[in-house]
Amino acid sequence: MLGLDLKGKLALVAGVADDQGYGWAIAKALKKAGANVIITTWPPALNILRMSLERGKLDTNLGPEYGTLTFEKIYALDAMFDHMDDVPADVKTNKRYQELGDFTVRGLRDSIERDFGVDKLDIVVHSLANGPEVQKSLVDTSRAGYLAANSASAYSFVSIVRHLSPIMKKNGSFLALSYMAAEKVIPGYGGGMSSAKAALESDTRVLAFEVGRRHGHRINTISAGPLASRAAKAIGVIQNMISYCEQNAPLQDSLQAEDVGHTAAFLCSDLARGITGTLLYVDKGMHSMGMAVPTAYHVSPQHS
């Protein structure tokens, strides 16, 4: 039997704050496949996440065969910053950041190296995105808002790959999450987020070449359909996006977070060792459609 086996592998999922998003689903899938999982969360959400885990408020059930989802470590990470020297004074003195140590990308690398050693990390998943002006049309987005969206959602992946590649085990796997707005107009998905996703997809291809040649690691991205996670609700029109996809996609059942989780586990496994520089759609086929489907449209059953 051909099995998806991640036993003995160490995986990092960056950008997990609750049990509603794709990051959590990916962490669960990696754990069920046998991996040991580290997660990072945004510093202001760290204590809430830890308390929710301690009080059993999050869905940690992996099923009777697998037990409970546990994490090797939970680190604070603000991927807007590469080094502590980059952090503004008002952030350093913010009570939600104080006493966290080095919460930058370089700090994450140092923490992993200290806690696990070099050549131990096998898998890195980038589940980070933020656009402070996401509800604004692109034409109304400020320069600061546009650059912030691209820094948090696209350049953060470049930074994570650059900092973590040298301490990863050879033939490691990096994975990021994108969305169809990188290629097509999604009204309401503004603030420069569509630009950030387009940059992320382009960076996937370039990084796959550069990091593949330099370190032997693979770099891929999943273009996932819309999901009503807590973070996605900030968009404001997320339910409209989901309804549109359900009405127009080839497969009309709702996309589940675990659909993306399972695909992520495959891409990070040795079963996908020949795949790099690739954008893989997990959206019920919505990306293939070029025209909206009339409500009354149906496909007649085939008769022999």
**Phi/psi at 254 (5° precision):** -65, 140
Q: Is 189 a catalytic residue?
A: yes
What whole-number distance in Å separates Cα of residue 178 and Cα of residue 201?
Answer: 7
Q: Which helix (H) or strand (E) holds 219?
A: strand 218-224
Contact 168, 121 (CB under 8 A): yes
Which entry of 22, 155, 179, 297 is annotated as an active-site residue?
179
Place of tokens 């509603």: 20
Helix axes 105-116, 156-164, angle to 10 degrees: 30
Copy the structure tokens of residue 37: 């999982």
Nearest CA-CA partner of 220 in 172, 277, 157, 149: 277
Nearest CA-CA partner of 163 in 237, 215, 100: 215
What are the CA-CA distances from residue 47 to residues 36, 42, 44, 53, 298 (Å)? 22, 10, 7, 10, 49
Copy the structure tokens of residue 243: 């309804």
What three-state secondary structure class fits 292?
coil
Which entry of 75, 146, 155, 189 is annotated as an active-site residue?
189
Q: Is 179 a catalytic residue?
A: yes
The catalytic residues are: 179, 189
